[in-house]
Chain A
C-alpha cells in the first residue's frame, strides 16, 4: 500500500513536471502503448497469413492439380487397359505406360512435400496396381477371359484398383480440406484482427478522450487558481508579502515562478527606495552640521502651529538663540572649532528641551526652538532653563560660553514672518541688554 502510494506520488510529480504540450501528448502516447503490441501482433499474424498463402500457392495448389491429374491419368489407364482387353490386343497394354510414368513423375515431384506419407503410399499402391493390371490384362487376353485363376486375379486387381483409387481420391480430398482450412484460417485471422482492431481503437479513443479531458480540467483549474491569486494580489493595498502559489512545474509553474521572482525584485526595490526616501527626507529637513532641523522644516512647523492656533486656539512660542561672541571663537580658534562648538550647542539644546519642542538651526550661530502649546511664561522658563544650562556647560577648547534668547508668542494676527520678526527683535534687545539674558517681545 505504501509502495503504491509512493509510486502514485512519483507519477504525479512526473506529471506535474511535464510541459503542457507533453501533457496533451500523453493521450496519443498511451494510445501508442496500447496499439503498438497490437501492431506487432498484427504484423506477426500477417507473416503467418503470408506463410499460409505461400503454402497454398507453392504446395497445395500444384498438389491439388496433380492429384486431379493423377485421377484423370488413372482413368485413362483404366480405359486403355479396358480397351486393350476388349480388343484383345496385348500390345495396347503398353500404351498406358506413358500415363503410368506421368503418374509416377507427378508423385515423385511432391514426394518431399508435407504429404510425403500419402504420396509414398500412393506410389507403392500404384506400382502394385499397375503391375497387376498389366499382368491380369495380358492373361485375360491370352486366355480369352477363361482360365482357372481368373476370379482370384481379377479380385486382386479390383482390390488394387480400389485401393489406388481411394488413395488418390483421399489425397485430393485432403488437399482440398487443407486449402479450405488455410483459407478459413485466413478468414478467421482477418476477422480477429478486424474485431480486435475495432475494440482497441475504441479503447484508445476512450482513453485519449479521458486523458485529454483530465489534463484540460487540471490545466483549467490551475489557470483559475493563478488568476484568482493574481486578482487577490492586485486588489487592495500594495502587499509585497503575498506570493502566487506554485501549482505545477510546467509552463504555468514557470509563469508563476517568474511572477513571484518579479514580485521579489519589486519588493526589494521598494524597500531600497523607501529607505532612500527616508534618508532623502531627513536630509531635506535636517541641518547637516548640527543634526537639528533646518529652516525649511522649521518654517513648515511654524506654519502648522499657526494653523493650530487658528483652529484650536493653541498658543505657541518661538525662542531664538544666539551664541554670544561666536565670531570671536571663529577668529581665535578657527572654523573647525566653531563648528564643534555649534554641534555641542545643538546637542545641549536638544537634551534640555521638552520632547514636544522642535529645535532647528536658524543660520550661522543662531538656533530656534518652536514650542507648541506653550505660552509666554512657559517659553520664558524654558529659555531661562536653557540659558543657565549653557552658562554652566564647559565647551571643548573654548570653555565657558553664554547665549542670548529672544522669545515671541504667537497671536491671532501673527503670521510666520511677524512672529520670527518679533523673536528677532527680542533677541536684538537681549544682545543690546548685555547678552546672556532672556527677552520677550510681542
Chain B
C-alpha cells in the first residue's frame, strides 16, 4: 500500500507542471520550447538578441522533470552532455541554486529559470508553459 502511495506521489510529483519564468519587467514574452532547449543546452545564450542567463534548480526531482519533459533528455544524458561541453572546453557547468538564490537571481531582468508552476510569485512572468 505504502509503495503504491509513494508511486502515486511520485507520479503526482512527476506530473508537477513545470514552467519557465523570468522577471516581470523583462521584455521577453513567450518563447517556444526549442529556444528553452537551446538555452539550457548552451547551444545559444540569446533570446531575440538579448543575452540571457539560465538558472538551474538544486531541486533534483524538478531538475529531472525539466530534463525529461522539456529538454527531452534523461538526467544521465543531460550530465553526459554537459560533461562533454566541459571537457571539450566549451562551457562550464552552472551551479544549481536553491529557492532563495533563484528568487534573488530572478530580480535580474535577463535571467530565466524553470520552476514548479505552483511556486510562481508575483514578480515573475511565465514565458514558457508546457501544455
Contacts and interface: CB of A to CB of B under 8 A. Distances in A.
Nearest to A78: B87
B89 A165 contact: yes
Contacts of B80: 82, 85-86
A151 B93 CA distance: 5
B58 A146 contact: yes
Given A158-B89, A162-B89, A165-B89, A85 B83 contact: yes
B91 A158 contact: yes
B122 interface: no
Nearest to B94: A151
Interface string A134-173: 0010001000111011111111011001100100000000
A78 B88 contact: yes
B89 to A, nearest CB: 4
Contacts of A79: 87
Given A81-B87, A145-B83, A158-B86, A151 B76 contact: no
Interface residues of A, number: 26
B84 A145 contact: no
B92 A161 contact: no
B82 interface: yes
A157 B86 contact: yes
B86 A154 contact: yes
A5 B60 CA distance: 108
Contact of A151 (B83, B84, B95): B95
A72 to B, nearest CB: 15
A145 B79 contact: yes
A359 B58 CA distance: 173
Contacts of B79: 85-86, 144-145
Contact of B92 (A82, A85, A86, A158): A158
Contacts of A161: 87-89
A140 B93 CA distance: 10
Contacts of B82: 145
B51 interface: no
Which residue among B83, B91, B96 has the maximum number of chain A CB atoms within 10 Å of its CB?
Answer: B83
Interface string B68-91: 000000001001101110111111
Contacts of B91: 158
Interface in A63-100: 78-79, 81-82, 85-86, 88
Contacts of A78: 87-88
B89 A148 contact: no
A95 to B, nearest CB: 14
Contacts of A155: 92
Interface string A283-315: 000000000000000000000000000000000
Which residue among B58, B76, B88 has the maximum number of chain A CB atoms within 10 Å of its CB?
Answer: B88
A161 B92 CA distance: 12
Given A157-B87, A161-B89, 20 more contacts: A79-B87, A82-B84, A82-B88, A85-B83, A85-B87, A86-B76, A133-B87, A136-B86, A140-B93, A144-B79, A145-B79, A146-B96, A148-B95, A149-B95, A150-B93, A150-B95, A154-B93, A157-B86, A158-B90, A158-B91
9 contacts: A78-B88, A85-B79, A133-B87, A136-B86, A140-B86, A145-B79, A148-B95, A157-B86, A161-B89
Sorted nearest first, the 3 A-B pairs with minimum C-beta distance are: A154-B92, A86-B80, A161-B89
Interface of A: 78-79, 81-82, 85-86, 88, 133, 136, 140, 144-146, 148-155, 157-158, 161-162, 165
